[in-house]
Amino acid sequence: MGQTFAQKVLARAAGLDEVAVSQIVTVRPAHLLTHDNTAAIIGKIGDDLAQYGVVSPDLSVIVLDHVTPAANEKTATGHKNVREFVAKYGIHNFYDVGEGICHQILVEKGHARPGTIIVGSDSHTCSYGALGVFSTGVDRTESAALLLTGQTWLKVPPTLRITLRGRFQPGVGAKDLVLRIIGDIGADGATYSAVEFHGDIANLSVPERFTVANMGIEMGAKVAVFPVDEQTVEYLEQVGVARGSYEPLWADADADYVRELEYDLAALEPVVAKPHTVDNVCPVGEAAGTRINQCLLGTCTNGRLNDLREAAGILKGKRISPNVRLLVLPASRAVFEAATEDGTMLTLSRAGATVLPPGCGPCLGAHQGVLAPGEACLSTANRNFKGRMGCKEAEIYLAAPATVAASALYGEITDPRKEM
């Protein structure tokens, strides 16, 4: 019997020839990602760090992104504690306020290498599956233990196989695909499982694959992964990871899957996830006309250059509705600079957008665009849970950048194909 991607990566990491589904293995991840929550993580193990130190200064990648710049004294103190920790232990992969969202930085700075294992104290750590990385989220306590020991346990997951065929129609994109999948299989449709994407992968750009892999957790998945192809190799070269300097892995043709699904990309249409679960998905037409007060373009799901350009393409020369605030958050400084150079930022600003610094912004409800009771937001983020954006009496709808841009023009949910 052939082996899945997850079986192969976990076997190699554990130094075994083969592993079986449900087997528990001990692994030493290539990297541990932590962000603002590094402050709470090191706070748990102050005495242990004094006694044992960190297992390796190379293990950590630390990015301040969640509440940046600091919103209050408490978050500012957290950031300060992280900077002191980083200096004390010589942690060189540290990115301070303003560099960008941890998942974008980890990739842009060349820390995500195909065939390796990365764990992070953030649920969207699954994003690097776009580059053939086995990456998954853990909690703060496990991150603390990892800082001390460098190792953890992982259970070999069963795998779902999703085959993609064809190409997207104009106005339809990767976000619509992944929301459609979550709507079909449910928010727990891939719980404990790995998800492999097969088929016409070349029809999705690497940034589009990030959008899909990022939302693996919203179907409950442990990892959501794409094969490494020539586009991946070129993308990695652009971020300084040399061709041939890593060893990708992929599933055998006769690997065993718990479930197989197939999607015809040409048959997809723009969709919206309605409040308050990500699997509450409908075609955009069914939600059209819903009044919205705020639009959010950005986050680790859809804050890359291709996403901002797509929105700018719709908004060029137009003005958003006076009843809507359009917030734009580039995923990183590099994205911000590229979007500034090519005029995308100017287009968005002239259309009425408010540009926020690279980071997570209002996605988790801590600052920079919290909603009021009775308000609705249409967002390119990944979660629409009640209270997510800081107010439990507000409603959050999720959609692709094109849908968010088109909707900003009218102050109500709008089919982006009308604007093309």
Residues that bind other proteins in the complex, under the rule CB under 8 A:
24, 36-37, 39-40, 43-45, 48, 52, 66-67, 72, 74-75, 78, 120-123, 125, 137-142, 144-145, 148-149, 153, 187-188, 191-192, 217, 220, 222, 277, 364-366, 370, 383, 385-388, 390, 392
Q: Which is nearer to other proteins, 196 or 218 (CB)?
A: 218
| Min CB(380)–other proteins separation in Å | 17
Strand partners, 155: 24
Instruction: Give ∠ CA 161-380-181 in degrees, rounded to 5.
Output: 20
Q: Which is nearer to other proteins, 43 or 313 (CB)?
A: 43
Amino acid type, 11 = A
Cβ-based burial of 149 (10 A; exposed 0-12, middle 13-18, buried ≥19): exposed
For residues 342 and 151, what is the distance between their CA atoms, to the nearest angstrom? 44
| Min CB(66)–other proteins separation in Å | 6
For residues 154 and 361, what is the distance between their CA atoms, to the nearest angstrom? 32
CB 60 within 8 A of CB 93: yes
Question: What region, left, alpha or beta, does residue 377 occupy, with left being phi > 0 and alpha being psi -120 to 50 degrees?
Answer: beta
Element (H, E) at 159: strand 159-165
Candidates 118, 60, 45; CA nearest to 90 is: 60
Which SS3 state, helix, strand or coil, does residue 187 take? Answer: coil
Q: Which is nearer to other proteins, 184 or 264 (CB)?
A: 184
Q: Which is nearer to other proteins, 40 or 376 (CB)?
A: 40
Q: Where are the beta strands (DSSP E) in 200-352?
A: 223-225, 259-264, 271-273, 281-283, 294-297, 325-328
Q: Which is nearer to other proteins, 25 or 233 (CB)?
A: 25
CB 21 within 8 A of CB 156: yes
For 164, the token pair is 């993609």
| Min CB(217)–other proteins separation in Å | 8
Instruction: Give ∠ CA 185-189-193 in degrees, rounded to 5.
Output: 135
Q: Which is nearer to other proteins, 366 or 404 (CB)?
A: 366
Q: Which is nearer to other proteins, 229 or 279 (CB)?
A: 279
| Min CB(173)–other proteins separation in Å | 24
Expressed in angstroms, the distance from the first to the final Cα of the chain is 48
| Min CB(364)–other proteins separation in Å | 4
| Min CB(119)–other proteins separation in Å | 10
| Min CB(81)–other proteins separation in Å | 11
CA 84 to chain centre: 28
| Min CB(231)–other proteins separation in Å | 29
Q: Which is nearer to other proteins, 46 or 289 (CB)?
A: 46
